[in-house]
Amino acid sequence: MRKYRWLAGLLAAVWLCLLPAGALANGAEPPHVTILVQNGPKDLRLALRISDGEKVVEEDLESVPLLWDQYFQWYGSLTRWTLENWYHMGPAASQTLLVQGEGVYLEIPLDGVEPVGHSNMVTLDVAAGTLTPGEPFWRIPLKIGVRIAATLLIEGLVFWLFRYRARRSWAVFLAVNLLTQAWLNYQLLGTQLDSHTVLVLLLLFIEPAVFVAELIALCALIKEKKRWVTAAYTVAANLASLALGWTVIGLFPV
């Protein structure tokens, strides 16, 4: 009988694989648009109006609270299939962005503007009444500067707490961090970070590479303390930077 146990086990495994089982899964965020607002009042409200002449549907856009910018997001898609099967309208249905607030009322047709894809950004200038794809060019270096400054501040504080005082150590710290942050921001350049899902995927691949590079470089170049101390600092600094960044990333511009 023992020689047939493996066959019985194999048949049991196959049977378990064939049994129906329920499962819950959560994938990446659906297609959505992020609208960056310029020159808008504090009580601004954005809504999407879809109409085919007989039926009219209005959906409010979600306001995203940030430190200084105004953002709105809308999760959905205006493809032919969506218009016909979700909104039960023809593919030629008109799509209008409604902009309302103190002293402001605008109706901006979305025909000719393709704001809705998968994680796309457009800029709404309330004063000019225009909606354009992308974001102002000056915001890119501003966002990079904010990221680098925040990282240097956090990891520099940990460096000080580890009692590194020599000028050469601080010069190495600045050089290594500037190089790794420059590479990190180059990888993020052009990527919309308006969703936590995308951020998680990026951190899973980019942050480990940054950590390893800093660990090797700092342990090899800093002579003020023993290598195990520098290695401990590198672990502590990266964990502090990652933890604080994870906490406050939702408050900063995307």
Please spell the DSSP secondary structure of 58-93, one letter per residue.
EEEPEEEE-SS-EEEEEE----HHHHHHTS---TT-
Q: How confident is the model at residue 116 (pLDDT cuts 50, 70, 90)?
A: very low
Q: What is the mean pLDDT of residues 167-184?
A: 94
Q: What's the pLDDT tens digit per position in 15-38?
A: 555 555 554 444 555 556 788 898
Average pLDDT in the chain: 78
Query: In the chain, where are the structural domains located?
Result: 32-133, 139-251
Quick one: 79 exposed, middle or buried, by C-beta within 10 A (0-12, 13-18, 19+)?
middle
Q: Is the pTM of this model over 0.75?
A: no
pLDDT of residue 118: 47
Contact criterion met (CB below 8 Å) for 21 and 10: no
pLDDT of residue 198: 52
- Residue 147 pLDDT greater than 50, yes or no: yes
What does the H/E/C string look like for 12-48?
HHHHHHHCCCCCCCCCCCCCEEEEEEECCCCCCEEEE
Q: What is the mean pLDDT of residues 114-141?
A: 76
Share of the chain above pLDDT 90, in %: 28
Q: What's the pLDDT tens digit per position in 194-253?
A: 445 555 656 667 788 889 999 999 999 999 999 999 999 999 999 888 887 666 665 555
pLDDT of residue 244: 77
Q: What's the pLDDT tens digit per position in 70-113?
A: 888 877 666 677 777 777 887 778 888 999 999 899 999 876 45
Backbone angles phi, psi at 43, to 5 degrees: -95, 25
